[in-house]
Amino acid sequence: MTPIDRRRALRTGAGAAAAGALATSCADGGRAPTPARSAVTPSAGAAARPAARPPAAPAPRRHPGRPAQISHGPTDRDRVALTFHGAGDPAVARAVLTETERAGARITVLAVGTWLDEYPEMARRILDGGHDLGNHTLNHVSVNELPEAEAYAEITGCADRLRRLTGSIGTWFRPSRTRTATPLVVRLAQRAGYPHVLSYDLDSLDATSPGAAAVTRTVAGQIHRGSVVSLHFGYADTVAALPALLDDLHRRGLRAVTTTELLS
């Protein structure tokens, strides 16, 4: 698909979603409409079939030879990982997912627990798109600065929500409001079931709302094989930057994959 196609799709679909993020949220909280009931009545005595449960999401994996805190992947393969802090208006989040999927890219989403409380359907939407889903603490506080018990509660609180929604605590843990975790937070994450903490080696600075072109320039100017890029849901600049960013990766022969795939 050409860059023009993706920009047109972004203007007509994701652009409307991003505008909604800056106005008021939908009355239904962004959830899909309830399907109409069938007019066909089951025959008398027919047993209702229980709804099939979706498969459990992938669990954390240990990656032999990798440190407890990972900031990048192998530099000998044409792969990079685009990782997103998961919070914000779900319409904008869906626009990010749609745009990356349209380009054949897969991403890693580190979800905030309270965001999952508010928009529980997003967990399955992320997984159904073939993306990684992980833990970004319960309340998105400065986890490195908390006492041990409170920091552990932040990690396990989000893990519990992921488990309830997906059957797994997620594939990754990323500390909130910091690029790297302290040794204590690394140990607490491992106690909670995460063999590795996920950091990054490239900050897009999209959370500063510098404009779509600046986000693209920052990432394009620093990305290399094995990069783990920090991006965010919830920012219109990020959505608008994606077509050019993904086109740039394609031209350079770099494939955006999940962090699990990057390290496998």
Mean of the per-residue pLDDT values of the chain = 86
Residues whose CB is less than 8 angstroms from the CB of residue 19 and which lie 6 or more positions away in sequence, other chains included? 236
Q: Report the pLDDT value the prediction gives residue 55, as an integer from 0 to 100.
A: 80
Q: Report the pLDDT value the prediction gives residue 56, as an integer from 0 to 100.
A: 84
Q: Does the pTM of the predicted model rise above 0.75?
A: yes
Other Cβ atoms closer than 10 A to 1:
13
pLDDT surpasses 70 at 1: no
Pairwise CA distance, residues 202 & 225, whole Å: 12
Q: Can you tell me the mean pLDDT for 66-80? A: 97
* 193-227 pLDDT per residue, tens: 999 999 999 999 999 999 999 999 999 999 999 99
**Looking at per-residue confidence, does 177 or 1 come out higher?**
177
For residue 237, which phi and psi values (nearest 5 degrees)?
A: -60, -40
The two beta strands, 79-86 and 202-203, are: unpaired
Q: Report the pLDDT value the prediction gives residue 221, as an integer from 0 to 100.
A: 96
* 227-263 pLDDT per residue, tens: 999 999 999 999 999 999 999 999 999 999 999 999 9
**Out of 3.90.1170.40, 3.20.20.370, 3.40.30.10, 3.40.50.1110, which CATH number does the structure's domain 69-263 have?**
3.20.20.370
Other Cβ atoms closer than 10 A to 68:
14
- Name the 3-class secondary structure at 241: helix
pLDDT surpasses 70 at 27: no
Which range among 13-27, 88-102, 122-136 shows the weakest confidence by mean pLDDT?
A: 13-27
* 99-151 pLDDT per residue, tens: 999 999 999 999 999 999 999 999 999 999 999 999 999 999 999 999 999 99
**Rg value, the chain, Cα:** 19
The two beta strands, 197-198 and 69-70, are: parallel
Token pair listed for 76:
């000998």
pLDDT surpasses 90 at 25: no
pLDDT surpasses 90 at 98: yes
**C-alpha separations of 35 from 94, 98, 156 in Å:** 20, 22, 35
Percent of the chain predicted with pLDDT > 90:
78
Residues whose CB is less than 8 angstroms from the CB of residue 197 and which lie 6 or more positions away in sequence, other chains included? 68, 69, 70, 173, 174, 175, 180, 181, 185, 186, 189
